[in-house]
Amino acid sequence: MNISSKPYSDEARWITLYPAYMNSKKKKAEGRRIAVEKAVENPTVQEMSEIVNHLKLKAKVEKNKMYPRDSNRDPSLQGRLRVQLKNDDGTYCNDEFKSREALMLHIAELIPKLKSRQAGGAASAPSAAAGGGKKKKK
């Protein structure tokens, strides 16, 4: 069956978003799709999913999928997000997001405001600063 003949509510018609699309640490050649100034440092699929659910869009996390250009095979960085942008009648689920780029920019804008980001950034800073030096020999 041709994918364009399926209804928009079918998951095969949903857009696919990988964290690499919004990662400020990636170069354009490595898969980033938005400007570095608007991108986020190391976003996760879980963070993206939280925001999409907050926006009341239908989404599905596919944890065992990987971005093909990503050389890092770390299981914690795996995954992709499928999001429904259009209803079966062709109208947009949310008129604010008429393209995948508009959705990516909005997600990248909201990720730093997540509680997990604000608490995690403050908690990890002291532990990094307290890292040890070598003991002095007598």
Could you read off the pLDDT of 54-100 as tens digits, one per residue? 999 999 999 989 988 887 777 777 899 999 999 999 999 999 999 99
Which pLDDT does position 123 carry in this prediction? 46
Which pLDDT does position 126 carry in this prediction? 44
Could you read off the pLDDT of 8-62 as tens digits, one per residue? 888 889 999 999 999 999 999 989 999 999 999 999 999 999 999 999 999 999 9
Amino acid letter at 108?
Answer: A
Residue 94, domain extent: 3-116
- How is residue 51 written in tokens? 């925001």
Which pLDDT does position 85 carry in this prediction? 93
CATH of the domain at 36: 3.30.56.30
Q: Indicate if the alpha-carbon torsion angle 56, 62, 66, 69 is positive or negative.
A: negative
What gap in Å lies between CA 25 and CA 28, rounded to an integer? 10
- Residue 103 included in any domain: yes
Strand-pairing partners, residue 94, are none
Which pLDDT does position 128 carry in this prediction? 43
Q: Summarize the confidence of residues 102-109 as an average pLDDT.
A: 95
Which pLDDT does position 136 carry in this prediction? 66
- Residue 89 included in any domain: yes
- Residue 24 included in any domain: yes
Burial of 104 (C-beta count, 10 Å sphere; 0-12/13-18/19+): buried
- Residue 127 included in any domain: no
Q: Indicate if the alpha-carbon torsion angle 42, 75, 85, 2 is positive or negative.
A: positive
Closest CA to 24 of 38, 44, 35, 39: 39
pLDDT band at 2 (very low <50, low <70, confident <90, very high): confident
Which pLDDT does position 74 carry in this prediction? 76
pLDDT band at 115 (very low <50, low <70, confident <90, very high): confident
In angstroms, what CA-CA distances link 80 with 9, 20, 69, 116? Answer: 18, 9, 13, 19
Closest CA to 78 of 64, 93, 95: 64
Which pLDDT does position 124 carry in this prediction? 44
Name the residue with higher pLDDT: 5 or 49: 49
- Residue 131 included in any domain: no
What gap in Å lies between CA 98 and CA 86, rounded to an integer? 9
| Total domains, the chain | 1
